[in-house]
Amino acid sequence: MIRFPKPDVEQFFQTYLIRSFGVSSDESRLVFSSTISGKFNLWAMDLQGETTYPFPLTYNDQMCSFIKLDPQGRHILTAFDNDGNENYQLNALRWNGGEPMPLFEGISPEDKHEFVHLSEDGKRIYYSTSKDNPNYLNSRVYHLETEEDRLLIEGRDTTTELAAVSPDEQTLAYTKMYANTYYVSYILRPDGQEICLTPSPEQVHTAGNVQFLDNENVIFATDFDSEFTYLAHFHIPSGTFKQLRGIDKESVSLIRLHKETGTVYIVTEKGVEDRLYAYSLESGVLEPIPLPVDILEQLVVARSGQLYVLGRGAVKPFNIYRYDGSRWAMLTKNVMTGLTEEDMVSPEVVTYTSFDGMHIEALLFRAKEQHANGCTVFWPHGGPQAAERKQFRAMFQYIIARGYNIFCPNFRGSTGYGSSFVKLVEQDWGEGPRKDCLAGMDWLFEQGISSRNRLFVLGGSYGGYMTLLLAGRNPEYFKAAIDIFGVSNLFTFYNSVPDHWKPIMEQWLGDPQRDRERFIKDTPITYLDNMVNPMLIIQGANDPRVVKAESDQIVEALRAKGRDVEYIVFDDEGHGITKKANEKIAYARMVEFLDRCR
């Protein structure tokens, strides 16, 4: 019997990422952004030919934020950033690819564009931009033939983004952002009148994802007067607001309309999984649609009524699927080379009780018995107003294959558990969520899954912040820590975030002068003297969210004290590790570090 060795890092990173896609009007072509070549580029597949083998459209090695195919097949519209800096700028691409052409000349590298809508004839692009208004953003329309670029909405007082455009292009919907849990949508009529879609804009709630049914009616998602987000309707002439459909303990995260049949496709969050439904506007009937994956990243409804989705599962890498009303077909074939789903580990969904009696849901990945080394990696997720869900991570499967369990708590502030729960992290980054993490560690010890000398903490972004904070405040709980682009100092972080984040920082984090004592208490670098465990820190040089200075300052301070700290900086990455070569380096070093410390 041939006995194969444990899979090495190369085998786990032969999968690729897919971040966005577009489908032509006649559904003959699929275009998607992927790391098939090792870095992000655009790829295409002809869906109606004899072969569907993907072929490249770009070679600029950059990530894009959207893909929109011209209705007449003349070109492709997209927006690229530069090595992870997230300053996406509008570009046009020939139908068969080549060198992308910027739509605007003379714009600053700091300017960014967010695509919103392409007119039915493909001649006008509606978008939001930081140009001339980096804090609050402006909304504009650009005419591709005349090159006229006209201001539609000037953001004032808070971040304001265009949300949708009516069929006759006379009425606009836009959203004012006050916090992740407080954003309100408005209608701007041709006469300049502004109408809020929900009854009380002063009340803290969310209202977004606006879709025009016609020139007088919109549907949208809101949690106004509700714990969970539901589907709502607004009649513009009468100003009438009406709840259409909610789903018990599920929050609507995305809606897409098929006008020809009057069907609204609704994606909801249910804890660690997504659900998909078809809702008939005429009959009010809601029908569930079984999904081929656990998590949906993007949904496109074609005119034919076919659905196209980008999704992933705990043991399913990113793939694009098509639904014809009866069955799903996988269009891309992104698999783990030499491995099957049975070779990987699906998580258990567990619940534990936190310090104040609150129930916390978590994912527990158990290493297969033949590989298990008795150690556990504790993963506080990023966000913080996000969640760890059943989503494929090559990094997880590689770490598990090397013998480590992984435990992922959805501490207070996580999405998918109601409006009140997600607000609990606001202006409390370091107390309640940290104690939820400690309660999760205690649960692992009580269950005999791990122990203090066999536990490691690993997190990125807010999870990196929590990793650093735990390393400073509770180092006795674990042996070593890995921080990936985590916030080390709340004072410097507050002033270094992207400009359009600054209007929401008050609600999200607080005020560094008014809340000075809390900022000090919740800042990881405050506890530098207690950071005695070995640490590995990873950072992208172009990170616009948690800038490199956040990692630099903690590394310098730890090294000055003679602590065991390794530091890796990727010069061509931003807030995430996206290039395959860098993934292999980072994740191999992470496992080497864990093995050295255990």
Active site residues: 461, 543, 575
Q: Are the beta carbons of 467 and 565 closer than 8 angstroms?
A: no
Q: What is the DSSP string of 48-107?
A: TSS----EE---S---EEEEEE-TTSSEEEEEE-STT----EEEEEETT--S-EESSSS-
Nearest Cα to Cα of residue 42 among 27, 52, 30, 32 = 32
Cis ω for the linkage preceding 409 (within 30 of 0): no
Joined together, the tokens standing for residue 310 give: 């980008």
In the DSSP assignment, the letter for residue 576 is B
Using DSSP, state whether 537 is helix, strand or coil: strand
Residue 432's region, left for phi above 0, alpha for psi from -120 to 50, else beta, is: alpha
Give the separation between CA 103 and CA 452, rounded to whole angstroms. Answer: 56
Give the separation between CA 372 and CA 345, rounded to whole angstroms. Answer: 12
Using DSSP, state whether 331 is helix, strand or coil: coil
Give the separation between CA 204 and CA 221, rounded to whole angstroms. Answer: 15
Give the separation between CA 368 and CA 474, rounded to whole angstroms. Answer: 29
Instruction: Give the Cβ contact number of residue 496 at 10 Å.
Output: 18
Residue with tokens 């967010």: 114
Q: Are the beta carbons of 39 and 580 closer than 8 angstroms?
A: yes
Give the separation between CA 42 and CA 548, rounded to whole angstroms. Answer: 28
